Structures are given as C-alpha cells and as structure tokens.
Amino acid sequence: MKEGADPWALWVLRPENELESMHPARDRVLANAQVGAGDTVLDVGTGSGLVGFGAITRVGQRGKVIFCDLSETLVEHCRREADDRGVTGRCEFLVASADDLSALRDESVDVLTTRSVLIYVKDKVRAFGEFLRVLRPGGRLSIFEPINSFAYPEPDDRFVGYDVGPILSIVRKLKAAYDGIQPPDDPMLDFDERDLLRQAEEAGFVEIHLTLEVKIDSRPWAGSTWDAFLRTSGNPRLPSLEEVLDDALTFEEKERFSRYMRPLVERGEGEGRLALAYLWAVKPG
C-alpha cells in the first residue's frame, strides 16, 4: 500500500466490491427502516454511498440524506457522485466515526442506517448510544452486519474454507502471520448477533427485530482465477494474501502452497460459511 493511502477508500472503491449482489442488502436495510418521503436519513459508514444513494429516491424532494464516513476520501467520493446525479441539494456530507457523532445535534435525524460498519467498531456500546442520541423520538434504526465469528477461527486443517491437511505446517505459519496483523480480539470477531440484540436493547431501543441468515456452500473465488485469489484480503486492515505469503513463507514454501492450492481454487472447491444479521429497531417516542 502506498504511504499515506487511505485503506478504507482503497478497499471500498475496488471494482470487485461494487457488485450488483450488494443491492438486495441495501434494499432490505432501507425497507426495514421504512424510509419514506420527507425523512432525514443518516447513513453511517456510507462508504461509496450504496445505501445513501438508495435512500435519495425514497426521501423525495423534501427529504435529505447525510453521507457519513470516517474516511474523508470516501465522503468526497460521495460528494462528487451526488454532483454527478444532480442531488447535491438533498445531501449533506460528514466525516465522523460510528462511535462519535458529536457533530450532529441530539434528535436530528429520522432514520439511521449502517451496512457492514459495526464490524469495524471496537466500542459498539458507545456506537449504539450515539445512534439513539441523534435519532428523533420514533426514529428508526436499520443495520446490516456480517457475523464473522460464525466462521472463525477455522479448524486447524482449514484455510479460507479449503482442506489444507497436506500443507498444514505451511498454513500454520500463514495463520500465525494473520493473527499478528489482526488478533482474535479484533472488533470483527468479538461479537455475534446476540451481542447486537443486547446492545440495541441496553441502549434504549424498542420494537427490536433481528434476522440471521446463514449459508454454508461451495466457495469458488471471483473468476475462479489464481490471481484473483492472491489479490484477496479479508478487510481494509489486511494486506493481500500475496503480500502475506511473501512476508511469512520461504520461496520453497510459497511454491508448495501454490502447487497444492491453485488446483483447488481454480476448480472452485472449498467451503464457504457466511452469517449475516439484519437488525432494525425504534427509538421510544
């Protein structure tokens, strides 16, 4: 990664992360929030604006969407996109994190949405408190979060869903390298759907609903190409697999890893384990 580069923007704006497959999640977040004409929507962790721009058509001419992200680069990206779409007059732009929305007044928004945001927030309790504070009485919260703790830590003889028993010593070195970069108590792994439910209730939300979707299936990688597999990184905080291989393994170990794994990847073998949580709730009136 280039010095001074914004890892969040580099991750979010990668072409492979702008997929049609994200639209159903966006639509469910907005539907669960019952976004309607005239609403002021705060989209926290807006990223490229997927949910925020989806809300624009729902709030109509009298409504407003606040695009909020801790990445100034992504907020500016959304500003340019709003200009291109001719909707800037119905938008505001804010650089802030989910657990510190102090730039916003109490009870100033009707709806608050997030998509894959709390997974990066260490103090989720504080974030839920901020969500409640900025919502007006009767305001709606709607969030979507992957539950990574469902699939991790993997068994010793598994690596990203592949059976790696024959190269176990090599994979153990890789896993140790990843643990050094992103330890098990990372906020991506320290919660599940029950924690989200409890935190929303303890913050003061009512009429809380939570849906958990779990999928276990085959896991072909994007394009089923080896190069695509090597470019993967689990999240913005991690280097690519290729970079970890270079740092953690010897030349001979990398060659052995490639000889074993490449056919599995290109045949689309392996197992995917995915859990997704949708939570929506209301601030008491």
**Overall pTM > 0.85:** yes
- pLDDT tens string, the chain, 285 residues long: the values are 444 467 777 766 666 555 566 789 999 999 999 999 999 999 999 998 999 999 999 999 999 999 999 999 999 999 999 999 999 999 999 999 999 999 999 999 999 999 999 999 999 999 999 999 999 999 999 999 999 888 888 899 999 889 999 999 999 999 999 888 876 677 888 899 999 999 999 999 999 999 999 998 876 654 468 888 888 877 777 788 999 999 999 999 999 999 999 998 888 888 888 899 999 999 998
Question: What per-residue confidence (pLDDT) applies to 181?
Answer: 82
pLDDT of residue 101: 97
pLDDT at residue 178 in the model: 87
How do the domains of the chain map onto residue ranges?
Answer: 1-146+189-213+273-285, 153-186+220-269
In CATH, which superfamily holds the domain spanning 1-146+189-213+273-285?
Answer: Vaccinia Virus protein VP39 (3.40.50.150)
Secondary structure (DSSP) of the chain: --TT--HHHHHHTSGGGS-GGGHHHHHHHHHHTT--TT-EEEEET-TTTHHHHHHHHHHTTT-EEEEEES-HHHHHHHHHHHHHHT-GGGEEEEE-BTTB-TTS-TT-EEEEEEES-GGG-S-HHHHHHHHHHHEEEEEEEEEEEE-GGGT-SPPTTEETTEE-GGGHHHHHHHHHHHHHHS-TTSTTTS--HHHHHHHHHHHT-EEEEEEEEEEEEE-PPGGG-HHHHHH--SSTTS--HHHHHHHHS-HHHHHHHHHHHHHHHHTT-SEEEEEEEEEEEE---
